[in-house]
Structure 1
Amino acid sequence: MGRKKTTKYNYVMATPCKNEEESLQKFAESVINQTVTPELWVIVDDSSTDRSPEILSDLEAKHSWIRIITNQGTKRDLGFHYARVVSQGLSSALEISSVENIPFEYIGLIDADMILENDFFEKIINRFEKEPRLGIASGTAAYYDKEKLVSETGRENLPIGGLRVWRKKCFIETDGFPISYSPDSVSNVQAILRGWETKRFDDIVGIQTRRTSSAEGLWKGYKTKGESDYYRDYHPIFIIFKFMKYSLTSPSYIGLAYLKGYINGIVRIRKKLDIPEVRKYYRNKHLEVGRYYAGKFKFKI
């Protein structure tokens, strides 16, 4: 696949990788076969114990624009550890680009359990080019439930985590990737508070090899969500709303897992996000959601 010639599509990207041997080769092929490939792709091997390091080494040997960094970290953690690994990858991509004079206008973060359609980056960068105030955008994640392809649901102004792209200027203005629970969400809020637009596009798809929050099992994934919502200081009304929503979702036990995580935050974590303006945004989130649905169904709140 030929390299792009115009600066319009110049981007770098980072990927955290931990024991992804089953899907890593297909994921890598989906990046290598993009209609516009990255100028630089930094993959952080987070102390994998399967064949991932071997696969990554082979990729680096074959493609000069792929760089592998090995992180001698601890076990997989959906909280701060994940954020630190991603931050390491993104920071390394920026540092290498600066040292080697690699030009780019966009920054991608794609998790290693994704398989991209071959024009993913071309399509999403085209959206940025049409919308000058678009700071962060993502595609929509989908996964196979038996033979059926199921798309993850979400609001159109909330880009998801491991399938996202930043405009370079927005990334710098928002101080890079935050070290936090739900760092993707915190990044979205920081962009919004600085006047940037954020969007998730339903027609730009990444296929997940597993359901969101299931890497360590759904119970642990949704318990982490509850801890995250405590840490970011969501209002108790919003917590109740989300508990009810998850309890009505299959499997229903994820509601209990979520509530347990929130209570764990109160009892054990105690500390909260140290960015006052972002905490204030989350604290009033239930009002924003209420206004959203009020407008959707045309009633006053």
Structure 2
Amino acid sequence: MKDMRRYVIIAPVRDEEKYLPKTIDSMVSQTIKPTEFVIVDDGSKDRTPEIIKEASKIHPWIHYVKRPDRGERKVGGGVIEAFYDGFRNLNTKEYDYIGKIDGDLSFGQRYFENLFEKFDTDPYLGAASGKLFLKLDNGKIVEERIGDETVLGGMQFYRKKTFDDAGGFVREVMWDGIVYHRCRMAGWRTRSFKDKELMIFDHRQMGSSHKSIYHGRMRWGWGQYFMGTHPLYIFAIGGYRMFERPYILGGLLIILGYLKGWHKKSKRYEYPGFRKSLHAWQMERLKIGKRLEKIP
């Protein structure tokens, strides 16, 4: 019988010598291993390339791809450019699932086995992840909250057909929010599950890898403007995020980033029917409307 759990993982990384070994160890320990794990070095200046090369010598399914140094970390579009460099360098075209992960995460050995069980029980589940947790300096573990209908940006996992139906990733900030909603428009569910076996541990706070957490929140708000988020929804997001670190200021910066995009009349993502569908979905989440798509 054909194995329908063939999967490939692509990890764009830059200067991750401190955390990448944890991510590699997590992949190596999986009870169901990937057909390929492609790690794309996006211009690292530390020992990241050596770490990847050493792992690839031990595990033939780990592959190293080198990109030229662009001079600085480029979030959003730059990450996706690196992802597609890895995608073009896949040796296999025979796979059923595809994932994109960050190089600063760790997770349990049954992570993908448990994720496959979720897909097996729901034929309309197109993209999924676990929930993200951060260990603080005092030893306390806190959840970095994401909605249940959202897949973690740093741990993307799709059915191949879903990924194709959604058109893949756009090379812009908020690429993850865009692809989730394109999945919904194509009739697929997207989910993140709060299961013990699906816990993902972040070794730096979400949104803090480029410049600072404050810059990250501003960038997030601008990305929401680019995606086409409804103004009412961005104020709701900002209010919700005020109760997370950095308290109050983080939520305000999200709103400010959105308003900055609006004031400058920055470009926005364009796809037929996307913004209308996104607004309907967002209004339903605010309990003042109904989404357009009906998924069984």
**TM-score in same-fold range (> 0.5):** yes
- Of 80, 88, 92 in structure 1, the residue corresponding to residue 89 of structure 2 is 92
Tell me the alpha carbon deviations over residues 176-210 of structure 1, each in whole angstroms, 9 at most, x when there is no partner: 22223211111111111011111111111111101
Tell me the alpha carbon deviations over residues 243-262 of structure 1, each in whole angstroms, 9 at most, x when there is no partner: 22233433222123223322
* 3-state SS, counterpart of residue 38 of structure 2: strand
Tell me the alpha carbon deviations over residues 139-184 of structure 1, each in whole angstroms, 9 at most, x when there is no partner: 1111112201112222222111111210111112222222232111
Equivalent in the alignment of 1:199: 191
Equivalent in the alignment of 1:145: 136
Report the Cα distance in structure 1 between the residues aligned to 2:30 and 2:222, rounded to whole angstroms. Answer: 37
1:101-112 pair list within 5 angstroms: 103-112=94-103
Shift of 1:224: 0.7
Further displaced range: 167-176 or 219-228: 167-176
| Letter in structure 2 aligned against 1:41 | F
Kindly tell me: are residues 248 and 202 of structure 1, through their superposed partners in 2, closer, same or farther at Cα, counting changes over 3 Å? closer
Equivalent in the alignment of 2:79: 82
1:57-136 pair list within 5 angstroms: 57-74=53-70, 75-93=72-90, 96-98=91-93, 103-136=94-127
| Letter in structure 1 aligned against 2:108 | E
Unaligned stretches of 5+ residues in structure 1: 295-301
Kindly tell me: are residues 213 and 141 of structure 1, through their superposed partners in 2, closer, same or farther at Cα, counting changes over 3 Å? same
Equivalent in the alignment of 2:254: 258
Q: TM-score, normalised by structure 2?
A: 0.89
Report the Cα distance in structure 1 between the residues aligned to 2:22 and 2:15, rounded to whole angstroms. Answer: 14
* 3-state SS, counterpart of residue 7 of structure 1: coil
1:1-301 pair list within 5 angstroms: 7-74=3-70, 75-93=72-90, 96-98=91-93, 103-146=94-137, 147-203=139-195, 204-216=198-210, 217-251=212-246, 252-268=248-264, 270-291=266-287
Report the Cα distance in structure 2 between the residues aligned to 1:84 and 1:195, rounded to whole angstroms. Answer: 27
Report the Cα distance in structure 1 between the residues aligned to 2:239 and 2:84, rounded to whole angstroms. Answer: 33
Equivalent pairs: percent with the same residue? 28
Task: Provide the aligned length of Structure 1 versus Structure 2.
Answer: 284
Equivalent in the alignment of 1:299: none
Shift of 1:59: 1.4
Q: TM-score, normalised by structure 1?
A: 0.88
Report the Cα distance in structure 2 between the residues aligned to 1:205 and 1:293, rounded to whole angstroms. Answer: 32
Contact 2:177 2:227 in 1 (8 A): no
Tell me the alpha carbon deviations over residues 192-237 of structure 1, each in whole angstroms, 9 at most, x when there is no partner: 1011111111111111101110112211110111110110111221
Shift of 1:293: 11
Contact 1:13 1:90 in 2 (8 A): no
Kindly tell me: are residues 273 and 55 of structure 1, through their superposed partners in 2, closer, same or farther at Cα, counting changes over 3 Å? same
Higher helix share: 1
Contact 1:16 1:44 in 2 (8 A): yes
| Letter in structure 2 aligned against 1:110 | I
Unaligned stretches of 5+ residues in structure 2: 291-296
Contact 2:31 2:110 in 1 (8 A): yes
Contact 1:17 1:45 in 2 (8 A): yes
Further displaced range: 136-145 or 178-187: 178-187
Report the Cα distance in structure 2 between the residues aligned to 1:142 and 1:293, rounded to whole angstroms. Answer: 32
Shift of 1:277: 2.2
